[in-house]
C-alpha cells in the first residue's frame, strides 16, 4: 500500500487544509495511507475518499480551525440539527476508510458559537474502521454516520464535553456495527442509534466499553422512523450519568426488535 507523509505536502501556511487534501488526493483511486508525523496540523474541512487510511502518530494532533469560514457547507448536512451541518472530516459514498494511530483529532469545539461543526460525518459509506485513535472536543456531535454499513470501532478514546449537544457516536440507519474496548465521555448521548429514514438500523454489537454521559450512555432515538433490530450490548461500565443511562425512544413509529442488554455495571 502506498504511504505519503502529510508534511511533504504542506506549504508553510498557517492552516494545513490544502496540504492535507492534496496528500489524500495524491493517492488516487487505489488509495493508501496518509501519515501524520508528530506535530499539530490546523485544518478546516477535509474530504476522505475510498481506500484511504489516516494514520495519526502518537504525538500528532489534527486540530480544527477556529475560523468558521474554513468549514465547507455544500455537502450533506445533519437532518436533525442543521446548525451542525459543517464538519472537520467528511466522506460520502466511500468504501474502505480507516482512521487509526494513537494521536489526537481535536475539533477545537470551545471556539464556536452559533453554527458548530461536527468532528466527522460519513454518508453512505462501507467498511469504516476506527482503531486506537483519540477523539476530542467537537463543537457539536463527534462522529455522525448516516446509512453506513460494516463499521468497526476498537480501542477509541473519545472525550466530548466542549459544548452542550456533544454526542459521542451517532448511527443513523446504519447496519453491521461492532464497537469494542472503547471509552466515551460525553456531555450528550455517548452512543446514539438514530433513524431518520425508513431503513431499519440493524446488527449492532457493543462490548467491553466504559461510557459516561450527562444525558444517556445508550440511546435509541429520538428520531425513529425505521427503527432498529438485532442490538446486543454487554460487558460495559456506565458511570457519572445524572440524567439516565439506557433510553429506548421510538416516537416516530419505527420497530424495536431483538434488543439484548446484559452484564452492565452502572
Asked whether the beta carbons of 205 and 193 are under 8 A apart, the reply is no
pTM above 0.85, yes or no: yes
Contacts of 91 (CB under 8 A, 6+ apart): 47, 48, 49, 97, 121, 122, 123, 125, 128
Q: What is the mean pLDDT of residues 170-177?
A: 98
CA dihedral 143, 144, 145, 151 (to 10 degrees): 20
- Tell me the pLDDT band of 77, cut-offs 50, 70 and 90: confident
Cell 480501542 maps to which residue?
155
Q: What whole-number distance in Å separates Cα of residue 21 and Cα of residue 232?
A: 38
Longest dimension (CA), the chain: 54
Alpha-carbon distance of 16 to 44, in angstroms, equals 8
Write down the pLDDT at residue 1.
79
Amino acid 114: pLDDT: 86
Closest residue by Cα to residue 188 from 213, 155, 207, 223: 213
CA atoms within 13 Å, Cβ hemisphere of 257: 10
The angle formed by the CA atoms of residues 136, 13 and 7, to the nearest 5 degrees, is 70
pLDDT average, residue stretch 163-173: 97
Express as a percent the part of the chain with pLDDT over 90.
94
Average pLDDT over residues 228-253: 97
Compute the mean pLDDT over every residue in the chain, rounded to the nearest whole number.
97
Answer yes or no: is pLDDT of 226 > 90: yes
Per-residue pLDDT, 99: 98
- d(CA 98, CA 119) in angstroms, rounded, equals 15
35 pLDDT higher than 90: yes
Grouping H, G, I as helix, E, B as strand and the rest as coil, residue 262 is strand
Amino acid at each position: 500500500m502506498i504511504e505519503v507523509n502529510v508534511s511533504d505536502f504542506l506549504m508553510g501556511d498557517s492552516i494545513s487544509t490544502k496540504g492535507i487534501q492534496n496528500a489524500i488526493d495524491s493517492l488516487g483511486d487505489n488509495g493508501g495511507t496518509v501519515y501524520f508525523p508528530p506535530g499539530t496540523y490546523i485544518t478546516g474541512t477535509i474530504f476522505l475518499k475510498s481506500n484511504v487510511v489516516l494514520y495519526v502518530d502518537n504525538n500528532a494532533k489534527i486540530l480544527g480551525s477556529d475560523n468558521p469560514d474554513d468549514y465547507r457547507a455544500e455537502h450533506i448536512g445533519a437532518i436533525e440539527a442543521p446548525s451542525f451541518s459543517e464538519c472537520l472530516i467528511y466522506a460520502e459514498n466511500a468504501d474502505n476508510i480507516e482512521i487509526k494511530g494513537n494521536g489526537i483529532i481535536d475539533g477545537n469545539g470551545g471556539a464556536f458559537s452559533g453554527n458548530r461543526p461536527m468532528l466527522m460525518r460519513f454518508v453512505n459509506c462501507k467498511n469504516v474502521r476506527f482503531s486506537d485513535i483519540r477523539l476530542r472536543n467537537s463543537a457539536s456531535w463527534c462522529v455522525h454516520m448516516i446509512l453506513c454499513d460494516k463499521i468497526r470501532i476498537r480501542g477509541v478514546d473519545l472525550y466530548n464535553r466542549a459544548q452542550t449537544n456533544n454526542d459521542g457516536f451517532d448511527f443513523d440507519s446504519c447496519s453491521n456495527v461492532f464497537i469494542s474496548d472503547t471509552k466515551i465521555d460525553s456531555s450528550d448521548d455517548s452512543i446514539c442509534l438514530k433513524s431518520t429514514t425508513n431503513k431499519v438500523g440493524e446488527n449492532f454489537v457493543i462490548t467491553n466499553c466504559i461510557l459516561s454521559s450527562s444525558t444517556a450512555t445508550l440511546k435509541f432515538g429520538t428520531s425513529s422512523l425505521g427503527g432498529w433490530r438485532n442490538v446486543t450490548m454487554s460487558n460495559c461500565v456506565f458511570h457519572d450519568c445524572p440524567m439516565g443511562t439506557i433510553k429506548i425512544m421510538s416516537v416516530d413509529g419505527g420497530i424495536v426488535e431483538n434488543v439484548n442488554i446484559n452484564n452492565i455495571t452502572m
